[in-house]
Structure 1
Amino acid sequence: MNSDDAKEKPGAPMLAAQAPKSNGDMETQFANGVGGGSKRKKRNLKICICVTLIILLLIFIVLLILGLTLFKPKNPTATVDSVLVDQLRTSVDALNLKANLNLTLQAHLTLKNPNRVGFSFGSTSALLSYKGQLVGEAPLPANRVGAQKTLRMNVKLTLMADRLLSESEVFSDVMSGSIPVNTFVKVAGKVHVFNIFKISVKSSVSCDVTISVSSRNVTSQQCKYSTKL
């Protein structure tokens, strides 16, 4: 009887080693596993955010370099190719030193866009002045000029006789045979680079024109151009 008990005793430690772990031990391991996974997720999220920010920064730098070099905005230029007399009628009242003047001009304008991107401009007006006094205007609707394209416009400017305040000067000019007028056009718009950078551009042209009363033609035309970013 004693000998059998002695043989069974060595098996007792083995049963103790194989005994299942307590609930406390299992909960501790589970908590450690969950906590470790959460930390890994946070670390991976931070890495992902950093990589994304770096990529966006590199893209912005590349676009900025291209915008300042290859796509660097250039000044669109507005020019007056020609000014023609469409209609000219004069009548003189020598006794009262008065003259009636009916004048319509046809101006041919060109707007060139040297940029590699489109240029959009808002509505504006072509102005006709006589000795610094506004006597006529014609609307120019908003439009867009494509990349490295040219837009041609024809404008009809009619002198409004009721705006001529100094009839004595008109009389003198009609009698001398030449009428000085000025045409002015200003175009303001924006150049869009990658639809990110928007740069304001202004271009204007002012032309002093002399018209012959006898031939009803333009005898001289001197224009000044201005562009500004």
Structure 2
Amino acid sequence: MKEPDGLFLASAGSKPHRQRRCRCSLFLCCLLVLIFLAVAALVLALTIFKIRNPSAALVSVRVVGASPHFSFLPPRVDINVTLDLLVRLHNPNYVSFAHGSDGLIRLRYRGGQVGEAAVAPGRIPARGTEMIHLAAAVEVDRILTDLGPLLRDIAAGEVGLDAEAWLPGQVTVPWFVKFHVQAAINCHVAFGVEDLRVRVQECTHSASL
């Protein structure tokens, strides 16, 4: 009768050993899966989901409104013009780029600010392109603070304006990681007083994380 008892004890002693082996195998499997996921995430972050700067390109520049006019009796300067820039913004990323309501365009005349306007928010899809209008009107009370240079420009037949635009936004990659991106555009535009046609157009643009 002692032999069956020995078999029972041997069987009972091997059961905890098998459980430990199962736990070790499960732990190793989980560790390998985590390592694989980490490597896959790193590869995706360095290739597909690597954040690239959006690119901006100026498509057209228009000056719309009424020609600047000076009258002697009574002495008065009438100027009602709006600078309208059409910009093509391309998003090279595999995730969308959203630019918010804090986008801004400013107009300057001979260094002084003469106009400002907000840029409408929007979203550019992954690998997509959006046409954005950047428009700001000249504020008469600001440009008339230094009347002498303006009168000389009107008499010469050409008025120059500088435009500065900022488009801050963000891209969100998987795992809810957000990267802030800002596109900037700077233009110098000179237009004819009689016909409002653009005679000089010099623009630079940049984008940075």
Question: What TM-score results when the alignment is normalised by the length of structure 2?
Answer: 0.80
Q: Unaligned 5+ residue runs, structure 1?
A: 1-16, 22-28
Q: 2: distance between equivalents of 1:183 and 1:204?
A: 11
Pairing 1:121–2:102 present: no
For the Cα contact (< 8 Å) 1:107–1:157, is it kept in 2?
no
- The structure 2 residue matched to 1:91, chosen from 60, 69, 75, is 69
- In the TM superposition, 1:1-229 aligns within 5 A as 44-45=22-23, 47-93=25-71, 99-123=77-101, 124-164=103-143, 165-229=145-209
Q: 1: distance between equivalents of 2:59 and 2:178?
A: 29
For residues 84 and 41 of structure 1, do their structure 2 counterparts lie closer, same or farther at Cα, with a shift above 3 Å needed?
A: same
Larger radius of gyration between Structure 1 and Structure 2 = 1
For the Cα contact (< 8 Å) 1:97–1:168, is it kept in 2?
no
Q: Unaligned 5+ residue runs, structure 2?
A: none
Give the alignment's Cα RMSD to 1 decimal: 3.1
SS in 2 for 1:214: coil
For the Cα contact (< 8 Å) 1:98–1:167, is it kept in 2?
no
Quote the sequence identity (%).
28
Q: 2: distance between equivalents of 1:95 and 1:172?
A: 18
| CA positional deviation for 1:151 | 0.6
Question: What TM-score results when the alignment is normalised by the length of structure 1?
Answer: 0.74
Deviates more, 1:144-153 or 1:57-66: 57-66
